Amino acid sequence: MRIPFVSSNHRYAPLSVNGVTVRPHASPTAIASIAFIASYLLAILCVRHFTWRDPTSVFFDYTHAYEPVYSAVRQRQAEAFIDAAGTTTPLANRTSTSGKSLCVGIASVARENARYFRTTVGSLLAGLGEEERQGIHLILFIAHTDPTVHPAYSEAWLHNAADQVLAYDLPAAELEHIKKLEKDKGLFREKALFDYTYLLRTCLAAGTPYIAMFEDDVIAMDGWFHRTQHALDLAEKETALRNAALDFFYLRLFYTEEFLGWNSEEWRTYLFYSALVVSISAAILLSIRHIRPTKLVTDALTNRNILIICGICIPAYVLLFFAAGRVTVFPRPHGLNEMNKFGCCSQGLVFPRSRAQDLADYYTSRHLGFVDMLTEEYADSRGETRWAITPPVIQHVGRRSSKGDDFGKASKYHMSVAEKLWNFEFEKYDAESLVREHSRVLQRGGG
């Protein structure tokens, strides 16, 4: 058998032995490169599978992430409750607020081609135990100078479900001003703030220790009341540990994860920790080569290979870490969380009575502005402590805003601002699990 001569310049060229081509083994660098590419592609697929609901991820799939799942189930339950409420009689002695722990206020205005109000009310009441319902003073505010303009006002369920149906009771001059605001559409910054303040002061008059303010286009989960009460107890204890003389400012029942992503102002911090990861990895590899200088180790961990690993491979995984999204890699633990920044918006907030009074006075002094922005402005200026429930206990479902559909100058996903106010984790709730949880709480006498 004759083996042809192969020069050193062609050490990986195919050999021909008796007419049979013999290919040499691939180089270790080629094998390692193929292994890295394969593992990286697999990692991308895995990350994509787990992060498509995360709006802070580059793999976010807006075509499916905004689909209602649990909220659709809860909406059907709410509609069934409202249908039943339309055929029942009003509760007896419901004007009394004695012994009630929470005033729930909802202001509503009629919207064109959309009716969210009934399902909002239905979801808040459906499934409540008798003791839970007795702990709530429900005020439904029809925010029209002529309340009959609102389709719900003439429906029996509204008066049967509410403890108090509220309409404007104002001096003639002030009522005329509200009528003018109704005609001048677009002045919602003044009227909406006035309505919110008017309802907030009405809840203050009810005398409950806490006041929950809801917008009229949300869906509440089954068990929202007992989870809210538990969170309020925790918030009281946590705040007292910091300053026993102060109440916390509010408990947030809804937020959107869209504003909880990587913050551009923190890029130096991200760069520092990314460089630290690369540096530590390089130090580990160099230490291994120094501690175990075997031929296998030294051949694998050459300076060139370490440079490739620390200059290409590890940075690629660092980029994938950030691409996965902050909500995914640093999720908020379930339960009570402090949220003094990036909380949006005003769909559901619970205020201690003392803070609600201060806030109502502040709204009145400002006279003009968006409720959510003024609320955060007030809290930021005083260093207030704000808490949130994770996952939220309500979902914003109003795809048609009462302020008009605002697509903005650079609307993402071809959706309006109202449509993007969405909590993605809320849709992961399992309806049957929540029913079982709520039943256990009721059996223990909770709520």
Please tell me the predicted confidence (pLDDT) of residue 6. 46
**SS3 assignment, position 323:** helix
Sorted by sequence, the CB contacts under 8 Å of residue 386 that are 6+ apart come out as 248, 249, 250, 252, 338, 339, 340, 343, 379
Residue-wise pLDDT for 282-332, tens only, equals 999 999 988 988 888 887 888 988 999 999 999 999 999 999 999 999 999
**CA separation for the pair 278, 307 (Å, rounded):** 10
**DSSP code per residue over 31-42:** HHHHHHHHHHHH
- Percent of the chain at pLDDT exceeding 90: 72
At 419, is the secondary structure helix, strand, or coil?
helix
CB 140 within 8 A of CB 165: yes
CA atoms of 71 and 444, how far apart (whole Å): 27
Instruction: List the helix and strand counts (H, then E) for the chain.
Output: 18, 12
First to last CA, the chain: 90
Nearest of 379, 419, 429 to residue 399 by alpha carbon: 419
pTM value is: 0.86
Each residue's pLDDT tens digit, 13-60: 555 555 555 555 667 677 888 989 999 999 999 999 999 999 999 999
Contact 348, 394 (CB under 8 A): yes
Q: Is the pLDDT reported for residue 437 higher than 90?
A: yes
Indicate if the pLDDT at residue 134 is higher than 50. yes
User: Residue 434, Cβ neighbours under 10 Å: how many?
Assistant: 19
Residue 1 confidence (pLDDT): 46
As a whole number, the mean pLDDT across the chain is 89
DSSP letter (8 states) at residue 3: P
CB 138 within 8 A of CB 203: no
Q: Which residues pair with 388 in a beta bridge?
A: 252, 337
Instruction: Give the pair of three-digit tokens for residue 290.
Output: 């120094």
Write the DSSP string, 354-416.
HHHHHHHHHHHHH-SS-HHHHHHHHHHHHT--EEEEES-SEEE---S-TT-----SS-GGG--
CB 295 within 8 A of CB 30: no
DSSP 137: E
- The three-state secondary structure class of 208 is coil
For 90, other C-beta atoms within 10 Å of its C-beta total 12
pLDDT category of residue 403 using cuts at 50, 70 and 90: low
Encoding tokens for residue 246?
């102060």
In CATH, the number for domain 70-260+330-443 is: 3.90.550.10
Nearest alpha-carbon partner for 195 in 249, 155, 143 = 143
- The answer, yes or no, to whether residue 2 has pLDDT greater than 90, is no
The 10s digit of each residue's pLDDT in 178-222 is 999 988 765 678 999 999 999 999 999 999 999 999 999 999 999
Answer yes or no: are the C-beta atoms of 152 and 216 closer than 8 Å. no
Q: How many CB atoms lie within 10 A of CB 200?
A: 21
The answer, yes or no, to whether residue 10 has pLDDT greater than 60, is no
pLDDT for the residue numbered 7: 45
Q: Dihedrals φ, ψ of 389, to 5°? A: -95, 130
* pLDDT score of 447: 58
Report the alpha-carbon distance of residue 353 to residue 347 in Å, rounded.
19
Find all residues with CB under 8 Å of 408, minimum gap 6, and list them. Answer: 417
Among 423, 362, 376, smallest CA distance to 250 is for 376
pLDDT value at residue 315? 96
Instruction: Tell me where in the chain the CATH 3.90.550.10 domain(s) lie.
Output: 70-260+330-443
